[in-house]
A and B are shown apart, each in its own frame.
Chain A
């Protein structure tokens, strides 16, 4: 048995040496806590392997010792089964503990500088994720001439607030002047019963493309029906609750919200003055996803907005309804380079409006002639994914003006999107516009890039 004990330090030294040459710590040399955690877990795994190896070595040594002892006693040698091996002696256990301690100490010595560095930079880990989107458009119109436009430099910040909520903000600067808080909202993350709550300034859950930022749209410009009926993006100051129905067979969400107004460009309602309940805008939406096959699916949404008394007009209620339908063909094995999307939204706007619209310079002596109008409009587009880079598409639009006595607008826009990478995109679009008093041919070249953090958002899918 003494011979066995003399061999153990040698085996242990070999194992420690083997650990020392393993490229465990130095890989990456980064001070990120996640990385360190990863490395620590890797080391634990290696330590476990060393222990296993030690146990195997001990079993072999004990077997050999048994053979030697039997030979020495002049008895026929027979290999002892592993299960019959004697239990480890206190000396063996002490050796094992010593080796573990030595290996752990060596590992700790090696990772200590990285841990120290990580601790020094740790406060910055609480900083929100930052991303910047630059969206530029060069355009030429046969009727109005050409223009280069920095449409948006959009700074996005997001982070968890605590275990119960996260927050995000989108701050946009454009050549239309100054900076604007496009969104700044708090979103709950752990309400019970599948509930969610959102408060602050955000894009209300109306329809589909109303919730997209301009640079996220599948084509260059927001469809006329959304621009006119929703007044741009569905930006709203208010509160919104939603409920994911607790059924496993079907994805269905119900949303309800109350806001000062809906629409980033909606100037019919003052966003800054207090009002009574009749002058808020209320929203309801139901959305469902219908999987047809593995590759084919349908999104279906119904939205309704209601303002009992439109504040500035102070005369009548306004209702806005919409249906959105999106068909997707996404072959699972080729999802990154093949696919088809057909998206359609139809809206109805119902309110009292002056014939011909509000005059730019109203006269106090000439009363406006008001008429109720139900205006209808839609857009529909088809986009193919031919490769990872090339996405051609076609957009059709038809919109009745919300003012009585004004005609309707038609537009046809073929376009081609070219993705240089996931973070850089070029888009070429031609639009034939047939609006009341403005028949025009328009050309657009859009160049959009993403810097820094980016997210693949569920609502932008």
Chain B
């Protein structure tokens, strides 16, 4: 396929802070809770490519994830738009906004399983220290240490330098166990006049026990099966959590990095990027981390472009 569009970065670094919200900017309210779940890393029970079976005793564990809720945390809702991945809790809600928007993330800790504090810490957007969500003994407030049953509202602003995709994750005293257990998600900030893609795929590379996961799942069929139609504008939101670097690769497609065609891009811990293209190549394709050992341990999935 010839390189079509794309681009990773629409970033106007160093742009001035907003002194006032620009015309047309919105205040977006997002309701999120930390909820306990039983998570299966390999629901179909197998690595289909290598023909290896995995028993639930190896792959099921209890953890806590971010779940989107309706206003006032009344009803659980989808974390992801249809077509953006499996909607089971990893990743947390895809929080979409435009440059200039103000974002209010209302967070409630419903962790009754481990009875731990949790928080939300956001990359890429502007906020005051009281919305940092990071626990620093003697300095931070309740934003970084939301105890079970308690709530906190994080007040964020999407600056011009926020355009792109960014991680968020737990940064409370339970940060390490919680990140290992899947408490992460992404912010997706569009430019002021940038259209929504037809499909937005969220890809989070993270270790999960002895597996290497994409969105908390390992091996083809278990990782999200992304789908698109020819002619659609697709966007891949990619990030990594944990302590390792990964290389994002999609078969049969290329994009441009600083004007140069590419089909693989490196992402390190808490780094993120997005890639866009206009789809035109029907077929079933692989996407995966090209670090060989990670791929063998489950960091691989399929992308299906179907004719209408």
Are A and B a genuine interacting pair, yes or no? Answer: no
Residues of B within 8 A of A (CB): none
